[in-house]
């Protein structure tokens, strides 16, 4: 125990003596959390629309006014030349073209049906899907309007209606920021914890100071624990710090128990740092380690469900996610903070990570070589 304590004193002194790393550990993440949270929204407003109205009739004007009244669309240009509109689409100065051809109104009267062209920039499929949906909705409203006002279709013919009452729990204003914030916080804690721990050990290897440690009677587990504990404390502190920032700046909801969250975080961080230590036992230089860590980290993060829901991932990806600690924490932090989930709701995740923690620590300790 005293040996472990001696080692811990050493590690803490070294960490806090490093004047460059402290700001990197604390300032950079906070700035990122504050800024980037705002970036991550798929919400659509101000879709840039170019109107090509070649009919210039009463009907076409009414239709266009439906679009200009919508909060989703911003009519950036009106023209009668389709090629001109298309060049705007190509030049990224428009997201969608509303093309109303000649005889739009005439056909509406004569054939009782007419059509209009919608040209969507579909490189971003989610955006394209939404644009399409909004347009269809506005045109639908237009249809209802002309039926009743122009053609005074009598009420009996009107469709019976299905009343869909949507409600959004936990986040009625559909504020995406709080969701994103917790996600970015998890990424930063993971990234910093894993990298710091792993780099620290490899750096000692590279510098040759581990040689000196390896000829002493220190036990492997003592050495590994001494490398783990300081960064475990730092990562927990970072999490607390991040939550505080979120609370103050974004009114981050904390519906569930913070105690439960930290209990879970304690185990999670052991897993993350354990992986870092394991990676450092199989690397000889910081460069090597960085490659491996970078690879794992970016895969972990992208698969964790930070930007996109894990439930929609294919089965094989969800299987891989069983080994992805970030996926567990990403899910649980949001469950606890936003929905107030309790221990029984997250017990499966908790015990899975507990087993993970034990296994990865055993792996890191046994894989650390005092003798080569």
Partner 1 sequence: MSRFFGFVKKEFQHIFRDVRTLVILFGLPIVMIILFGYVVTTEIRDVEVGIWDRSMDQASIQATQKIFSSGYFVPAGYLDREEQIGELFRSGRAKVVVVFETDFEKNLKRENRASIRLITDASDANSAQLAQNYLQGVLMNYFQSLNPDINAPWSVQVKSRMFYNEELKGVYMFVPGLMALILMLISALMTSVTITREKEFGTMELLLASPLKPREIILGKVTPYVFLSFVNALTIILLGFLVFKVPVVGSLWLLMLECMLYITLALSLGVLISTSAKTQQVAMFMSMLGLMLPTILLSGFIFPIDNMPLILQWFSSIMPARWFIVIVKNIMLKGTGFVYIWKETLILLGMTLFFILAAVKRFNVRLK
Partner 2 sequence: MTGTLEHIIEVRDMVKKFGSFVANDRLTFHVEKGEIFGFLGANGAGKTTAMRILCGLSYPSSGEIMVAGHNVYHEREKIKRKIGYMSQKFSLYDDLTVSENIRLYAGIYGLGRKEINTREAQLLERLGLTHIKNRLIREIPLGWKQKLAFSVAIFHKPAIVFLDEPTGGVDPITRRQFWEMIHDATLEGITVFVTTHYMDEAEYCDRVSIMVEGRIEALDTPAGLKQSYESRNMNEVFLKLART
Provide the binding-site residues for partner 2, judged by CB under 8 A.
2-3, 5-7, 9-10, 13-14, 17-18, 207-209, 211-218, 370-372
State which of positions 163-202 bind partner 1 (CB under 8 A). 163-172, 174-176, 178-179, 184, 187-188, 191-192, 195, 199
For the chain, the distance separating the N- and C-terminal CA atoms, rounded to the nearest angstrom, is 26
The total number of residues written for the chain in this structure: 372
Among the listed ranges 9-17, 215-223, 240-248, 334-342, the one in contact with partner 1 (CB under 8 A) is: 334-342
Among the listed ranges 26-34, 220-228, 258-266, 350-358, the one in contact with partner 1 (CB under 8 A) is: 26-34
Residue 303 binds partner 1 (CB under 8 A): yes
Q: Which does 176 bind (CB under 5 to 8 A by kind): partner 1, partner 2, none?
A: partner 1
In this complex, which beta carbon is closest to partner 1, that of residue 269 or of residue 361?
269
6, 68, 209, 308: which one binds partner 1 (CB under 8 A):
308
Residue 152 binds partner 1 (CB under 8 A): no
- What Rg value do the Cα atoms of the chain yield, rounded? 29
Burial 260-286, CB ≥16 within 10 A → b, else e? bbeebbebbbbbbbbbbbbbbbebeeb
In this complex, which beta carbon is closest to partner 1, that of residue 134 or of residue 361?
134
**Going by C-beta distance under 8 Å and a sequence separation of 6 or more, which residues neighbour residue 305?**
183, 313, 327, 330, 331
Please check whether residue 334 is in contact with residue 254, taking contact to mean a CB–CB distance below 8 angstroms.
Answer: no
Residue 351 binds partner 1 (CB under 8 A): no
Q: What's the CA gap between 309 and 147, in Å, rounded? A: 41
Residue 317 corresponds to which tokens in the numbers above? 């990806």
Sign of the dihedral defined by the CA atoms of residues 217, 278, 286, 199, in that order: negative
Closest C-alpha among 224, 229, 227 to residue 369: 224
Q: What's the CA gap between 148 and 82, in Å, rounded? A: 32
In this complex, which beta carbon is closest to partner 1, that of residue 7 or of residue 346?
346
Q: Which does 213 bind (CB under 5 to 8 A by kind): partner 2, partner 1, none?
A: partner 2
Among the listed ranges 8-16, 29-37, 226-234, 361-369, the one in contact with partner 1 (CB under 8 A) is: 29-37
41, 78, 79, 214: which one binds partner 1 (CB under 8 A):
41
CB of 20 to partner 1, least distance (A): 5
Q: Which does 371 bind (CB under 5 to 8 A by kind): partner 2, partner 1, none?
A: partner 2
Q: What's the CA gap between 316 and 5, in Å, rounded? A: 44
Residue 32 binds partner 1 (CB under 8 A): yes
Residue 28 binds partner 1 (CB under 8 A): yes
In this complex, which beta carbon is closest to partner 2, that of residue 10 or of residue 45?
10
Q: Which does 216 bind (CB under 5 to 8 A by kind): partner 2, partner 1, none?
A: partner 2
HSE (side-chain half, CA atoms, 13 Å) at 256 = 22
Residue 235 binds partner 1 (CB under 8 A): no
Q: How far is CA 15 from CA 12, 229, 255, 288, 336, in A?
A: 5, 12, 35, 22, 32
Q: What's the CA gap between 228 and 200, in Å, rounded? A: 10
**Going by C-beta distance under 8 Å and a sequence separation of 6 or more, which residues neighbour residue 230?**
8, 11, 12, 15
Residue 157 binds partner 1 (CB under 8 A): yes
Residue 279 binds partner 1 (CB under 8 A): no
Q: Which does 236 bind (CB under 5 to 8 A by kind): partner 2, partner 1, none?
A: none
10, 13, 16, 46: which one binds partner 1 (CB under 8 A):
46
Residue 54 binds partner 1 (CB under 8 A): no
């Amino acid at each position: 125990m005293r040996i472990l304590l001696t080692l811990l004193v050493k590690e803490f002194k070294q960490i806090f003596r490093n004047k460059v790393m402290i700001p990197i550990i604390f300032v950079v993440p906070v700035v990122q959390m504050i800024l980037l949270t705002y970036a991550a929204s798929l919400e659509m407003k101000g879709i840039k629309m170019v109107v090509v109205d070649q009919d210039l009739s009463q009907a076409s004007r009414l239709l266009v006014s439906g679009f200009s009244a919508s909060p989703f669309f911003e009519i950036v240009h009106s023209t009668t030349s389709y090629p001109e509109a298309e060049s705007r689409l190509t030049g990224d100065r428009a997201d969608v073209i509303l093309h109303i051809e000649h005889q739009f109104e005439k056909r509406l009267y004569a054939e009782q049906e007419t059509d209009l062209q919608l040209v969507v920039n579909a490189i971003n499929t989610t955006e394209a899907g939404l644009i399409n949906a909004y347009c269809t909705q506005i045109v639908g409203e237009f249809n209802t309007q002309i039926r009743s006002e122009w053609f005074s279709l009598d009420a009996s013919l009107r469709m019976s209606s299905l009343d869909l009452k949507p409600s959004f729990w936990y986040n009625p204003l559909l504020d995406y920021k709080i969701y994103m914030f917790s996600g970015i916080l998890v990424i930063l804690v993971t990234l910093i914890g894993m990298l710091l721990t792993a780099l620290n050990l490899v750096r000692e290897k590279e510098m040759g100071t581990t040689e000196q440690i390896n000829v002493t009677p220190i036990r492997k587990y003592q050495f590994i624990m001494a490398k783990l504990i300081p960064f475990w404390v730092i990562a927990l502190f970072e999490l607390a710090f991040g939550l505080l920032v979120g609370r103050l700046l974004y009114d981050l909801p904390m519906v569930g128990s913070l105690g439960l969250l930290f209990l879970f975080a304690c185990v999670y961080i052991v897993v993350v740092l354990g992986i870092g230590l394991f990676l450092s036992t199989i690397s000889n230089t910081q460069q090597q380690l960085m490659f491996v860590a970078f690879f794992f980290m970016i895969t972990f993060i992208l698969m964790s469900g930070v930007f996109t829901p894990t439930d929609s991932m294919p089965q094989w990806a969800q299987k891989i996610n069983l080994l992805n600690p970030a996926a567990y924490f990403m899910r649980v932090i949001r469950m606890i903070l936003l929905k107030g989930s309790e221990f029984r709701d997250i017990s499966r995740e908790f015990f899975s990570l507990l087993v993970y923690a034990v296994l990865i620590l055993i792996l890191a300790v046994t894989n650390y070589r005092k003798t080569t």
